[in-house]
Structure 1
Amino acid sequence: MTAHAMKGDRERCLEAGMDGYVSKPVRVRELYSTIEDCLHLNPAAALTDEIPVYEMHEEGEGEAMSESSNDSADREPEKDHAADTESIIDWQQAMEKSEIPVESLNELGQIFLTEAPRLLSEIREALKDNDAQSLRRAAHTLKSSAALFEAHPAAAAALKLELLGKEKKLSEAREALENLDREFDRLLPAVAAQIDSTTSEKE
């Protein structure tokens, strides 16, 4: 995924060894189709014919979502868990913004659960190797992926690493890594729980 959308950019990316190419602003149908092509997923027949552009703006991605209020001290554990999940991601808003069905969002969530740990590992390796460019690139991808699920705290943490990588402030980036790890330690189980929850509702 790239902001380079000039004539010839697609060909250059594919010639460089990329598996697919999606330019910004993101069009969900195009994104999902490219993921299917790369991972050999089944076609998303439930997608509508007209899906509007969904842009991921860097400004505002650092804004944390407000915590869900907990008015009752004796709520059931399942409800408490659901409230915690809603403070980390907003599955409903993600579906509304991207206008894809829950089944498609769940499939993207499964891909995210595989790709996010790999990107986190790339960030650690980049910091270990003092590679600011690789840090920026991995953090940018991680940020955009988290933003797709309306996971604002995690997206904000990744954005900070991206900007520090861009500015080559690796010492500060190492300090910020702790917060990134903490947010994704919360996010990944929340995504998995949301997938399980919405899958169970359909059965």
Structure 2
Amino acid sequence: ILLTEDGIVNQKVAVMMLEARGYNVAIANNGLEAVERVNRERFDLVLMDVQMPEMDGLEATRVIRSRENETDSHTPIIAMTAHVMKGDRERCLDAGMDGYLAKPIRAETLYNMIENLVADEVVDETITQTTAPDLARVGSGHGVKREQRQNEVLPQGPEEPHVEQLFNWDTALEQLDGDEKTLKDIAEMFMMQYPKLVQAIRGSIENDDMSELRRNAHTLKGSAAVFS
């Protein structure tokens, strides 16, 4: 699985969830890196953040889909976003994504969506028997092709949770399967990242750079949501 995410906190959380399920994970830090890696390597699924530097997730997905049209192939792409606003899901669908998850990502929701998408694929005839984690090997060479479906409905992630307090240790711990050490590590990473993001947000405001402001605010919101 290719994880495309620029926030180090969300990278850490997602990698832990995926590896706990038996998936092999590669990381791209922005959409441009994702496009380059998909061109060079074979992935069975891509998790794609929407707001990223260099190239956002929507544009990266459009580029990947455009190139796939030339090869008659299809790599499932799941959007991950801290934005849960009217029209977001439709924009992801229009860009060619197959699924949509709202941050903070919940482990069971993530697993179910990945496995549902993999189950929808037509497995290459050379594969006689396999499991979901086997299908997620990076560079496995066992391709999965998507059935052509008209009027496809995206699997939909949960509504954005209502946050009643700034920090919920129990909820954050539950996301990490009770791994308190990892949660402490992630909290330390967040405390290191937070001042840089706040500084970047202030700089974006001073420079009247709305694009950078949205991106940095999105990263901060997504990282903080891990603890809510």
Q: What range is the shorter-chain TM-score in?
A: 0.3 to 0.5
Q: Which has the higher contact order (CA 8 A, sep 6+)?
A: 2
User: Which structure shows the bigger proportion of residues in helix conformation?
Assistant: 1
TM-score (normalised: structure 2): 0.34
Q: Between Structure 1 and Structure 2, which shows a larger proportion of strand residues? A: 2
TM-score (norm 1): 0.38
